[in-house]
Structure 1
Amino acid sequence: MSHSLLVMKFGGTNMQDAAAIRHSASLSARSIHQGVKVVVVVSAMAGVTNALLTIADAAETGDIAAANDSLAEIRTRHMTAAAELGGRPDSATVRELRELLETLRQAIYGVYLLRELSPRSRDMIVAFGERLSAPLMSLALSQMELRAHHLTGGAAGILTDRHFGSARPLPQSAERIRDRLGGLLDAGVTPVVAGFMGETEGGAITTLGRGGTDYSATILAGALAADEVWAWKDVDGVMTADPRVIPDAQNISELSYGEVMELAYFGAKVLHPLAVTPLQESGIPLRVKSAADPDFPGTLVRAEAAMDIQHPVKAVTAIRNVSLINVTGAGVLGVPEVVASLFSAIARENITLLMVSQSSSMSNVSIAVPDADAGRAMEALRLSAADDLSYEQQTGKAVLAIVGGGMRGQKGVSARMFTALAEADTNILMISQGSSELNVSVAIENSEVDGATRAVHAAFSLGRGAE
């Protein structure tokens, strides 16, 4: 099948050092040599995004020594990679890296002096991971005799709202992207775009949320009407479960956009939860490909995925470290506006609601949120709602979800799940079925996740050789 334009995204492990970057560049080159136009979108080197967040927090608390030590490590890593990729000390790439690293150092020092880290400052700092890795990819491509030009997400045309930390693209991005990347592609130049970031109309740097490089890639693909998006990972595509928990987990050959969004939402480290949204209008397929085995087809994500009556469930996924918050109040919760005020309080705080369950008498509502957000959620709920409500919070829980379009209209799927959980002696704390009928999720104890995942995976015969 011939393509004329591909958007290729490379994750952190595929960018972690000179060898990985060179290999990723060669994967792009394979298609470019076949006459395909390629837009390359890169993540930060593995571990750099987290390191930058830690550095920014250290500076805010006044620990500038720790911040400087980590900055020195980041500097060494990028400079070493540049040298190994053939960048001479006086080359444009190395000069640019030096300037970027100096700007980053100043930004961190500014946070230290002010002892303040606003969401806007945090975005500016954390986006340096991608801004530093893009020139390295450009360098690797040029060493393969390919013309490449690297740009920030904003310079590539991604314009976003001002929701720092989880910004959303604005509609006028599409035209800007076509203007800015179209000319490069027509001139035979491969654009290398720093993923995970965009900019506001005022030019402030924003980030698209964790895993946002996938999202950058699909925003660009949607605007450029690409043939496909290839997300290169260090795995064979999307798996039926976490292979570290379930050694016989296997690759899923096809998923629908809806299924992949549910999986991402429920903690499968596959794609950013919104990554497929820019593709939906035009139906552009996305492939999750293995960098180690580029000829393996991986997982194809498209509007409608093949249905398999034998396997209504395609994957089991789990999110650990979840808090359950139970809101009770005699009769009050029957009033829709009270429930609405609870949800809008959570939404205002930008907290991810993992699941919601409401009793039929309406006298209590239970919600599941990440442990890290639980304190903020409790505070927001207390401030927002009626006085005669009581709140109790349980931490150290987990949410386990089964996902698959084949559950729609097929009886007995939930029953099979609950039987497997009962046989594994799992204590179920809360149940919720998505209205889309693509998932059923249950809240369980953190300590029971692995056993429960294994039991459910086996019950739906998802493992290798289970046919």
Structure 2
Amino acid sequence: MNESLLVMKYGGTNMQDARAVRHSASLAARSIREGVKVVVVVSAMAGVTNQLLKLADAAQSGDIASANDEIAAMRTRHFTAAQELGAAPDSDTVREIREMHETLRQAVYGVYLLRELTPRSRDLIVAFGERLSAPLMKLALEQDGLRAHHLSGGEAGIVTDTHFGNARPLPGTYERIKDRLSGLLSAGVTPVVAGFMGETEKGAITTLGRGGTDFSATIIGKALSATEVWGWKDVDGVMSADPRVVADARNVDVLSYGEVMELAYFGAKVLHPLAVTPLQDSGIPLRLKNSADPDFAGTLVQAQPRDEAGHPVKAVTAIRNVSIINVSGAGVLGIPEVIASVFDAIARENVTLLMVSQSSSMSNVSLAVQTTDAERTLNALRAGVSLELKVEQQDHVAVLAIVGSGMRGQKGVSARLFTALAAADVNILMISQGSSELNVSVAVEAEHVDEATRAVHAAFNLGRSVTA
């Protein structure tokens, strides 16, 4: 498409009630009135995804009363938002919301009867959050004098594999999205797409993983050759550290695709770790903006990094609730088939490794995983590797990472990191650096991670600059 086109993604806090939805719609409307075509991609209302997961688990355990109470509370919340946005009791919006809640109730009752919650059923249930948000955004845009049409992710053209809970788009997705949305845009209708979700080739609803609305937006952006993809948030953009931990954390003006992927992977709650992958081939920029300050530029994510001399690191981030799995056996780990069996056992459990470190003597390999994955990782290793290997678990760990393309070929970066941690009396449990030189990560005791973050942030002068 030759004219300016923006894909605007709104997170849960931007959809949390009628006031937030109305404001979000006004941001899209402002661009539309400037002659820009806009596709809106919405998240569930803040807290609704967790609520849906909770009620699904309650139904599986036989507590249908609690599940129905949660559904009733959600119904009230969505009806209230619709009414405050101007929907009459007999309107299409209210009817749609009522019908979707009834379908949700039936799906949850099916889980209760079977006492079984399959990944496919979980996806069906949890996707209702976004499906219920989309009619509210459509209503708000119409109340602002615009024409809009809402669609589920599947209706918009996102077709995925059958990996329920963490689905990936199939190659045909992009052409399908273009076919389904281009006509609406050409007719002056703003598509409102329920994010986080797609459907299999047979029509079963899938979800794209936590934060998947970001992924939905960038998939659509690539399909439509968007000018930019905008992610509206409740903070200025990507920060140099968690502002709840570091008081002088500042906005990072520009990041490369690679840098933002590293930050997302290492715990910064900026976007879905795979969200930039659809944009990389086409070079479409992603801009993360603050809905409370829409004129602020936010953070621009683009193909090429923008490095400053003397500032090799852009940000410091941390993953909490980590465990280290230590696998040891003198000489045994040096045998190729033995080390292969370690990683094969983990792969079969579909566990994500946060860090890997191996001793030069080949007598020990340390694996950092989320604590929620630790027990099954431990069990998989004990069942799947040589009896000569000793497998142990260490809990209460966090992974801290520094990220920045300026570290490539730069001497002394690791020394500054280690010196800062030593000065803060923080012990390092593991060290890892990728060949891309975009990050250096260390595992530390969880109780020291905030102190470590502040020390490292200060050591690399990442705080707000003060002008006289």
TM-score (norm 1): 0.98
| 2:307 counterpart of 1:317 | no
Alignment of 1:274-423 (within 5 A): 274-423=274-423
Q: Match of 1:324, SS?
A: strand
Q: Which amino acid aligns with 2:246?
A: I
Give the equivalent residue in structure 2 for 1:263: 263
Q: Match of 2:100, SS?
A: helix
Alignment of 1:100-119 (within 5 A): 100-119=100-119
CA distance in 1, matches of 2:147, 2:345: 50
Q: Match of 2:426, SS?
A: coil
CA distance in 1, matches of 2:155, 2:166: 19
Give the equivalent residue in structure 2 for 1:71: 71
Give the equivalent residue in structure 1 for 2:182: 182
Alignment of 1:3-22 (within 5 A): 4-22=4-22
Give the equivalent residue in structure 2 for 1:98: 98
Q: Which amino acid aligns with 1:419?
A: T
Q: Which amino acid aligns with 2:391?
A: Y
Q: Which amino acid aligns with 1:44?
A: A
Deviation readout 1:275-299 (Å, 9 max, x if unpaired): 0000000000000000000000000
Q: Which amino acid aligns with 1:23?
A: H
Give the equivalent residue in structure 2 for 1:139: 139
Q: Match of 2:252, SS?
A: coil
Q: Match of 1:192, SS?
A: strand
Deviation readout 1:157-193 (Å, 9 max, x if unpaired): 0011111111111101011001100111111110000
Percent identity over the alignment is 76
Give the equivalent residue in structure 2 for 1:170: 170
CA distance in 2, matches of 1:8, 1:296: 16
CA distance in 1, matches of 2:348, 2:172: 25
Q: What's the CA shift for 1:342?
A: 1.9
Q: What's the CA shift for 1:355?
A: 0.5
CA distance in 1, matches of 2:335, 2:220: 44
Aligned Cα RMSD in Å? 1.1
> How many pairs are equivalent?
466
CA distance in 1, matches of 2:228, 2:338: 45
Deviation readout 1:400-457 (Å, 9 max, x if unpaired): 0000000000000000000000010101111111121100001011100110000000
CA distance in 2, matches of 1:140, 1:233: 18
| 2:12 counterpart of 1:32 | no
Q: What's the CA shift for 1:337?
A: 2.7
Deviation readout 1:14-64 (Å, 9 max, x if unpaired): 000000000000000010001111000000000000111111111111111
Q: Which amino acid aligns with 1:250?
A: R
Q: What's the CA shift for 1:378?
A: 1.0
Q: What's the CA shift for 1:345?
A: 2.3
Give the equivalent residue in structure 2 for 1:48: 48
Give the equivalent residue in structure 2 for 1:85: 85
Q: Which amino acid aligns with 1:32?
A: I
CA distance in 2, matches of 1:121, 1:466: 53
Give the equivalent residue in structure 2 for 1:216: 216
CA distance in 1, matches of 2:338, 2:192: 49
CA distance in 1, matches of 2:340, 2:212: 29
Q: What's the CA shift for 1:384?
A: 2.1
Q: Which amino acid aligns with 1:321?
A: N
Compare 387-396 and 26-35 and name the one that shifted more. Answer: 387-396
Q: Which amino acid aligns with 2:284?
A: I
Q: What's the CA shift for 1:344?
A: 2.7
Distance of aligned partners of 1:449 and 1:466 in 2 relative to their CA distance in 1, 3 Å threshold: farther
Give the equivalent residue in structure 1 for 2:428: 428
CA distance in 2, matches of 1:322, 1:288: 28
Compare 35-44 and 343-352 and name the one that shifted more. Answer: 343-352
Q: What's the CA shift for 1:348?
A: 2.5
CA distance in 1, matches of 2:348, 2:303: 31
Gaps of 5+ in 2: none
Compare 431-440 and 63-72 and name the one that shifted more. Answer: 63-72
Q: What's the CA shift for 1:3?
A: 6.4
CA distance in 1, matches of 2:81, 2:347: 42
